[in-house]
Amino acid sequence: MATRSAPSTCSIDNRRRDNTMTASNLETVSENRSFGGTQGVYTHQSTETGTPMTFAVFVPDHAPGAKLPVLFYLSGLTCTHANVMEKGEYRQACAEQGIIFIAPDTSPRGDDVPDDEAYDFGKGAGFYVDATQEPWAANFRMRSYIEQELPALIAAHFPVDMERQGITGHSMGGHGALTIALRNPGRFRSVSAFSPIVSPLNCPWGEKALTGYLGDDRAKWREYDACALIEDGARLPDLLVDQGTADAFLATQLQTERLDEACQKADISAKIRMQEGYDHSYFFISTFMTDHVRWHAERL
């Protein structure tokens, strides 16, 4: 369990309540009391995406000056920060374990941001890559945003202990969590995923997204494929994955068996749980969210 200090009603530094937060132009969209903590939504002008970016943060009550571990959650296709915030049911577990929960958006937004008519490409489908192809390259830099800009922003404005970071995600966000952790060895003490896309090199969603954002050279895709990264030598200390057996995307898009095989070959300790009868929805995610939060807390 993450170590907690005595509770306090001040979950976020009061010096930052004025909605200006000048160092990064961070603005408070909303803050609500929930489970003895503060559920906030914030926005800022991103230097990586060149657009405003919105994210959600839950901060449990804590003693003044205390630093808490942090769990990043990356959402899936079509989602924003709001999907897990409204349906993920993480707050009670995070409050009990003393963990800050961060939920960013899945892509840049705005009238000037390029888009595609399909749900699985463009806005809402950033795939946590840094795009190199036009017209996507200028704005679709979700890898750098999640790996660099957002953590620095969180560290500057919230009471986080950046030596105790965990990461998780769902579907496209599970892909993001796995690949970000594998590319940044030692940064995350804990890694988990719900229904992750484990090998974009080998599924229609991934082939479409990586071709569009990165071009036709499949060798350049490998750094965005969890199974390929493991094959190329990247490692995790251990891993928790939950996957529903009634998930309509399991066979064609998710292919969980590929990750299981890659982890076994690399001797990675991976608990991959096939959950009978569960689908791809937030009914599934919310069912096992507490398990994941507690699993991360043990390692944070």
Q: Where are the alpha helices (DSSP H) in the chain?
A: 81-87, 91-97, 142-144, 150-157, 172-183, 204-214, 226-231, 256-266, 282-299
Spatial separation of the C-alpha atoms in residues 180 and 196, rounded to whole Å = 13
The 8-class DSSP code of residue 40 comes to E
Of these residues, 81, 175, 280, 292, which one is catalytic? 280
144 among known catalytic residues: no
Of these residues, 11, 46, 75, 171, which one is catalytic? 171
Of these residues, 61, 120, 130, 247, which one is catalytic? 247
Token pair of 295, please? Answer: 């699993």
171 among known catalytic residues: yes
Spatial separation of the C-alpha atoms in residues 46 and 275, rounded to whole Å = 38
Spatial separation of the C-alpha atoms in residues 125 and 136, rounded to whole Å = 12
175 among known catalytic residues: no
List the one residue out of 151, 229, 226 whose CA is nearest residue 187: 151
In angstroms and rounded to an integer, the radius of gyration of the C-alpha atoms of the chain is: 18
Token pair of 174, please? Answer: 């599970």
Go through the chain and tell me how many residues it has: 300
CB 165 within 8 A of CB 187: yes
For the annotated catalytic residues, the residue numbers are 171, 247, 280
